[in-house]
């Protein structure tokens, strides 16, 4: 997120949008009128220190109320924030009036949630924190066995911390992979991914791939048999109003289906909601970032902040679990149809020619 600008309110229409609240944050959707005008779809505001309303209470929790009025003024001590909203509940209109002050507001105005289609990786790309790659900043070594003779060693560096959580001061990690005890490759990763992916991809093309991270948003693949690697880092650390896309999806785990060469990507947008995207993984060296979002394929009564989880791949379907605890099926034929639609809407010259 970034620092709030008063123009985040004055230059956009919020009336008839929806808003939700909890403790120190407001988030919601812009009205269709604003989306058509500017492309903006969602907004998030986080207030600090935790604000108190006029009656001395923290912000109440409510979901999807219609915005009637919103205003912000800046003063010597920070900001004065006012929002009026309502919702028809059990036959009656529940009206909310929130008025509070705070010292700081963090903001994120997003056009849509997706995975950026511009790869900014080059051979000089490295994660932040390289200045800590010194023995005096060494924190610990973690080792993992990811199966089939592949082990991973994470050497973590950073600042000292009094916390019992050894990762609190971490700033960077040097990650080394071994096959049957022999080193096959290494890479650096930033503080957001201090653990490896859970599994190796055994592709229908006969090759095996190790997925890994070099930064928060990107995803990379190492081909074990040949030593080739492919890195994809989407443009922008966080896509907000100044970019052409919404915040880029953070891939936390991937689950491959050899029958269809599709990857289910489990991840999130800054911790919530948990989401599943699906991508075509027919050729990792011509990686196609035009992933398709599963949120709209779940027929439960959900909102944008409900979680969706991967369950399994089946013969002809992807099985997901909604926040209601029920399992839902999306056919692979439907997934292929959605991918084709996405490619048609967002052509990429290097991939489509």
| Total-model pTM | 0.68
pLDDT in the model for residue 151: 95
Q: What percentage of the chain's residues is helix, strand, coil (to nearest 5)?
A: 10, 50, 40
Nearest to 17 by CA among 73, 90, 70, 62: 70
Q: pLDDT truncated to tens, each residue of the chain (353 aa)? A: 688 999 999 999 999 999 999 889 999 999 988 877 776 788 999 999 888 888 888 889 999 999 999 999 999 889 999 999 999 999 999 999 999 999 999 998 876 556 667 787 877 777 888 999 999 999 999 999 998 899 999 999 999 887 778 888 899 999 999 999 999 999 999 888 889 988 899 999 999 999 999 888 788 999 999 999 998 887 654 433 344 444 577 888 999 999 999 999 998 866 567 889 999 999 877 778 888 989 878 877 655 557 889 999 999 999 999 888 899 999 999 999 999 998 887 787 766 65
In the chain, where are the structural domains located? 2-110, 115-236, 249-353
Cα dihedral 113, 48, 24, 16 sign: negative
Helix (H, G, I), strand (E, B) or coil at 257: strand
Cα distance between residue 84 and residue 340, in whole Å:
42
pLDDT in the model for residue 307: 84
Residue 235 and residue 243 in contact, taking contact as beta carbons nearer than 8 Å: yes
- Point out which residues pair with 237 in neighbouring strands: none
Positions of E strands within 24-103: 25-29, 42-48, 59-75, 78-89, 92-102
Residue 210 and residue 254 in contact, taking contact as beta carbons nearer than 8 Å: no
pLDDT in the model for residue 111: 66
294 vs 11, 275, 309, CA distance in Å? 32, 7, 10
pLDDT in the model for residue 298: 83
Cα distance between residue 287 and residue 312, in whole Å:
23
pLDDT in the model for residue 352: 62
Dihedral in degrees, nearest 10, Cα atoms 287, 221, 295, 314? 100
Helix (H, G, I), strand (E, B) or coil at 105: strand
pLDDT in the model for residue 48: 92
Nearest to 289 by CA among 346, 206, 329, 247: 346
Count other Cβ atoms within 10 Å, centred on residue 266.
Answer: 17
Give the tens place of pLDDT for each residue, 271-305. 567 889 999 999 877 778 888 989 878 877 655 55
86 vs 47, 60, 67, 80, CA distance in Å? 21, 13, 7, 21
pLDDT in the model for residue 339: 94
Cα distance between residue 130 and residue 235, in whole Å:
21
Distance of CA 106 to the CA centre of its chain: 18
Residue 239 and residue 248 in contact, taking contact as beta carbons nearer than 8 Å: yes
Q: Which two tokens stand for residue 210?
A: 């190790």
Q: Which two tokens stand for residue 90?
A: 């059990």
Cα distance between residue 148 and residue 141, in whole Å:
21
Residue 245 and residue 113 in contact, taking contact as beta carbons nearer than 8 Å: no
* Backbone region of residue 35 per phi and psi (left: phi > 0; alpha: psi in -120 to 50; beta: other values): alpha
pLDDT in the model for residue 245: 44
pLDDT in the model for residue 243: 41
**Helices assigned H by DSSP within the chain:** 7-10, 32-38, 332-345, 349-352
Distance of CA 345 to the CA centre of its chain: 22
Helix (H, G, I), strand (E, B) or coil at 132: helix
Q: Is 219 exposed, middle or buried (0-12, 13-18, 19+ CB in 10 A)?
A: buried
pLDDT in the model for residue 237: 45
């Amino acid at each position: 997120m970034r620092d709030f600008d008063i123009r985040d309110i004055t230059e956009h229409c919020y009336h008839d949008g929806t808003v939700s609240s909890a403790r120190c944050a407001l988030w919601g959707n812009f009205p269709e009128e604003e989306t058509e005008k500017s492309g903006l779809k969602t907004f998030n505001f986080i207030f600090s220190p935790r604000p108190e309303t006029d009656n001395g209470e923290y912000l109440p929790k409510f979901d999807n109320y219609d915005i009637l009025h919103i205003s912000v003024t800046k003063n010597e001590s920070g900001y004065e924030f006012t929002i009026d909203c309502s919702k028809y509940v059990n036959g009656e209109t529940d009206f909310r009036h929130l008025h509070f002050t705070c010292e700081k507001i963090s903001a994120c105005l997003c056009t849509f949630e997706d995975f950026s289609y511009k790869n900014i990786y080059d051979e000089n790309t490295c994660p932040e924190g390289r200045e800590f790659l010194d023995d005096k900043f060494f924190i610990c070594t973690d080792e993992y066995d990811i199966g089939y003779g592949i082990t991973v060693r994470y050497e973590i560096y950073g600042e000292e911390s009094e916390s019992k959580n050894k990762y609190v001061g971490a700033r960077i990690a040097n990650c080394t992979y071994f096959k049957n005890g022999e080193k096959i490759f290494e890479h650096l990763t930033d503080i957001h991914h201090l653990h490896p992916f859970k599994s190796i991809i055994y592709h229908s093309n006969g090759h095996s791939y190790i997925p890994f991270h070099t930064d928060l948003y990107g995803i990379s693949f190492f081909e074990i048999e040949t030593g080739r690697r492919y890195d994809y880092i989407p443009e922008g650390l966080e896509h907000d109003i100044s970019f052409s896309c919404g915040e880029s999806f953070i891939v936390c785990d991937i689950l491959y289906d050899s029958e269809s060469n599709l990857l289910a990507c489990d991840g999130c947008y800054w911790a919530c909601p948990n989401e599943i995207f699906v991508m075509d993984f027919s050729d990792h060296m011509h990686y196609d970032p035009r992933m398709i979002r599963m949120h709209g394929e779940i027929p439960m009564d959900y909102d944008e902040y409900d979680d969706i989880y991967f369950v399994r791949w089946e013969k002809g379907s992807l099985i997901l679990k909604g926040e209601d605890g029920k399992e839902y099926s999306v056919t692979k034929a439907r997934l292929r149809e959605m991918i084709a639609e996405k490619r048609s809407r967002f052509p990429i010259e290097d991939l489509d020619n």
